[in-house]
Amino acid sequence: MTATMEQLDTVQVATGSDRQAGTLWRDSLVFARRNAEHIRQIPEKLLDVTVQPIMFVLLFAFVFGGAISVDGGNYREYLIGGILVQSLAFGLMGPAVSISTDLAEGVIDRFRSLPAARSAYLVGHFVSEVAAVILAITILLTTGLLIGWRTHSDPLHVAQAILLLIAFASAMIWVGTWIGMKARSADAVQGIVFVVIFPLTFVSNAFVPVQSMPDALQWIASWNPISAIVAAVRVLFGNPTTPVTKEVWPTMHPVAAAWIYTVLILVIAVPAAIRLHRARTTD
C-alpha cells in the first residue's frame, strides 16, 4: 500500500472546473493499476473469473448434462450461454467486496487528500473489473470450445452476443459498486450477493429448460432478466433454445428484452453508485 500511495502522490493533475477528460482518464488508470497490483500480490483474487467458471462448465457438462435433455441440440451448447451469464452476474461481488473493504479500512478517505478527481476511484475500479470480465469471457468460451460448444450464426451475431455480455457485465459491476458503498462490511456483501443472485440465476433458463419447472416458477423465470439475457446469447450464438412456455414479451423477443434490461440496469445503477459515493466521501 505504501508503494501504491507513493505512485498516487506523483500524479500531477489540475484542479477546478477546467479539468479535462484526459486528466480524469489518467487518474482513473492509476487506480486501475492499483487494483492490478493487488491481483499481482494476491493471484487468488482471479479465481472467480478463471477457475470457478471452468469448474461450473465441467460440473454441469459432465455431471448433470447426462440427466438433462434439450430439444433440437446438445446440452453442452445450451449450457454455455447460461454459465456465461451466471458468471458475469456473480461478477458484481468483486467490486462490492473491494469497495466495502476500502471504506471500512479508511483507504478512500486517504485518497480524498490526493490531487485526483473524486470520480477517478470509481472509474478505475470499473476499468479493472471490465478487464477481468473480458478474461472470464475468453476463458469460458475457450473451455466451451474444448468440450464441444460451437457457434452456428454469422460473425455479426456472434459479435453482438459478446458485446451484450460485456454490457451486462458492466451493469453488474455498477450494481456491485453500489452494494459495496451501501453494505456495512465485506461479509455483509457476500451474503447480499448470494441471496439475490443465486435464486435469480437458478430460477431461470440458465441451466434447465423452463418447462421443467412448476407453473408458478415458469412465470417468474419467464420475466426474469437473466432468462432474457441467456436466451438472447443463445439466439445470437445460434445455440439450442427451448420452447416458450409463457408467451410474455421478454420470452418472445429475447434479444431486444436483453438490451432493454441491461440498459435499464445501467441507467439506474450508475447514477445511484455515483451519488452514494459522493455522499460517503463528503464531510
Give the model's confidence band at 67: pLDDT under 50 very low, under 70 low, under 90 confident, else very high: confident
- Pairwise CA distance, residues 240 & 76, whole Å: 9
Is the residue at 35 inside a domain? no
| Residue 2, in any domain of the structure | no
Query: Which is more confident, 4 or 221?
Result: 221
Assess if residue 149 is contained within a domain.
yes
What's the pLDDT band for 4 if we cut at 50, 70, 90?
very low
Per-residue pLDDT band at 157 (split at 50, 70, 90): very high
Tell me the C-alpha distance between 146 and 61, whole Å.
Answer: 12
Lowest mean pLDDT among 104-118, 126-140, 198-212: 104-118
Confidence of residue 137 (pLDDT cuts 50, 70, 90): very high
Instruction: Return the pLDDT at 253.
Output: 95
- Classify the C-alpha dihedral 14-15-16-19 as positive or negative: positive
Q: Measure the CA–CA gap between 122 and 87, rounded to whole angstroms.
A: 22
Give the number of other Cβ atoms within 10 Å of residue 153's Cβ. 14
pLDDT for residue 2: 46
User: Cell numbers at residue 153, please?
Assistant: 450464426
- Least confident among 136-140, 171-175, 186-190, 224-228: 186-190
Q: What is the pLDDT of residue 58?
A: 87
Closest CA to 255 of 179, 122, 157, 130: 157
Residue 226 near residue 251, CB atoms below 8 Å: no
pLDDT of residue 252: 94
- CA separation for the pair 70, 54 (Å, rounded): 21
Tell me if 159 is assigned to some domain.
yes
Residue type for 222, please? S
Does some domain include residue 104? yes
Provide the percentage of residues in the chain whose pLDDT is more than 90. Answer: 42
Rounded (5°) CA angle 232-137-188: 95
Handedness of CA 222, 223, 228, 229 (dihedral sign): negative
pLDDT for 7? 47
Residue 194 within any structural domain of the chain: yes
* Size of the chain, expressed as the number of residues it contains: 283
Q: What's the domain range around 91?
A: 43-280
Q: What percent of the chain has pLDDT over 70?
A: 85
> What is the reported pLDDT for 273?
93
Specify the number of domains making up the chain.
1
Q: Is residue 30 part of a domain?
A: no
Q: Each residue of 208-253: pLDDT tens digit? A: 889 889 999 999 999 999 999 999 999 999 998 888 888 899 999 9
Highest mean pLDDT: which of 4-18, 131-145, 156-170, 194-208? 156-170
66 within some domain: yes
Band (pLDDT 50/70/90 cuts) for residue 3 is very low
Annotate the chain with three-state secondary structure: CHHHHHHHHCCCCCCCCCCCHHHHHHHHHHHHHHHHHHHHHCHHHHHHHCHHHHHHHHHHHHHHHHHCCCCCCCHHHHHHHHHHHHHHHHCCHHHHHHHHHHHHCCHHHHHCCCCCCCCHHHHHHHHHHHHHHHHHHHHHHHHHHHHCCCCCCCHHHHHHHHHHHHHHHHHHHHHHHHHHHHCCCHHHHHHHHHHHHHHHHHCCCCCCCHHHCCHHHHHHHHHCHHHHHHHHHHHHHCCCCCCCCCCCHHHHCHHHHHHHHHHHHHHHHHHHHHHHHHHHCCC
Mean pLDDT, range 269-278, rounded to an integer: 92
